[in-house]
Amino acid sequence: MNMKRRTVIKAGLGLGASILLCPRDIFAQAQALIQKKIPSTGESIPIIGLGTARRYEEIKTDAEKVPLRETIRRFQELGGKVIDSSPSYGTAEAVVGELVEELKVRDSLFLATKVSLRKGGRDEGVAQIEASFKKYRTNKIDLLAVHNLLDTDTQLKTIREMKAAGRVRYVGITTSFDKQYGEFEQTMKKESLDFIQVDYALDNRDAGDRLIPLAGDRGMAVMINLPFGRGRLFNAVQGKKLPEWAAEIDCAGRGSSLLLTF
């Protein structure tokens, strides 16, 4: 039986690591988000998460928080859980913590952040992590990762100690630089990790050659960052008309929004 292209395309939107959504249609339907299991525990979380780089980094007024509060409220209402941040993202952790507390939705969320120290050091790492707890306004962080392999050995040891104490639930490492992939691969082979986070943009699939398959072999969950290359793919098509077939999936004449996927 032949299927209309509209049906095929809509079905295809549910597949793959990165999904470009038409917000008014998808959100209005309030369809259940696709879930994936974290290999190390079997816990299920949605494949679509919320990143906080850029949009949450330089918030100075209450007025600037209003759309972000609505984003988190709607995100949680529709079944979203994972919010990812970092101390290197300016005001992001503090803004998320404040808004999550106001909305009283902490227990339904999966809060992730990183330890990010260029000079490293155990005491410095502990201090930064403790600051993240305070900014997030929580006594437990769901995922704590070493950011861009900065002082990996020292910081992983600290994170593991906090996990053993029940303050951190999952341990990971991240990178968004291809030049780190060799060291990243060796760390994955050496360490027992719950998560990795890598760049897997639509125009940069290098992580798919070795790192993502290795994560499968090692039982590590994969969180994808920069699926649209920090906006460069959107910039490439800015001002251009949508193809005629876009009307068949109800996207003609409307904007699209990106939700971080992992």
Phi and psi at residue 131, in whole multiples of 5°? -65, -35
* Beta-bridge partner residues of 221: 195
Digitized pLDDT (tens) for each residue of the chain, 262 residues in all: 444 544 444 444 433 333 333 444 444 456 788 999 999 999 999 999 999 998 999 999 999 999 999 999 999 999 999 999 999 999 999 999 999 999 999 999 999 999 999 998 999 999 999 999 999 999 999 999 999 999 999 999 999 999 999 999 999 999 999 999 999 999 999 999 999 999 998 888 999 999 999 999 999 999 998 887 777 888 888 888 888 887 887 765 433 333 333 3
Torsion of CA 145, 146, 148, 153, to 10 degrees: -150
Q: List, in sequence order, every beta strand (DSSP E) within the chain.
A: 20-21, 35-37, 44-46, 50-51, 82-84, 110-115, 141-146, 168-174, 195-199, 221-225, 257-258
Architecture label for domain 20-229+254-258: Alpha-Beta Barrel (3.20)
For the whole model, what pTM was predicted? 0.82
92's tokens: 């992001």
Terminal CA-CA length for the chain: 34
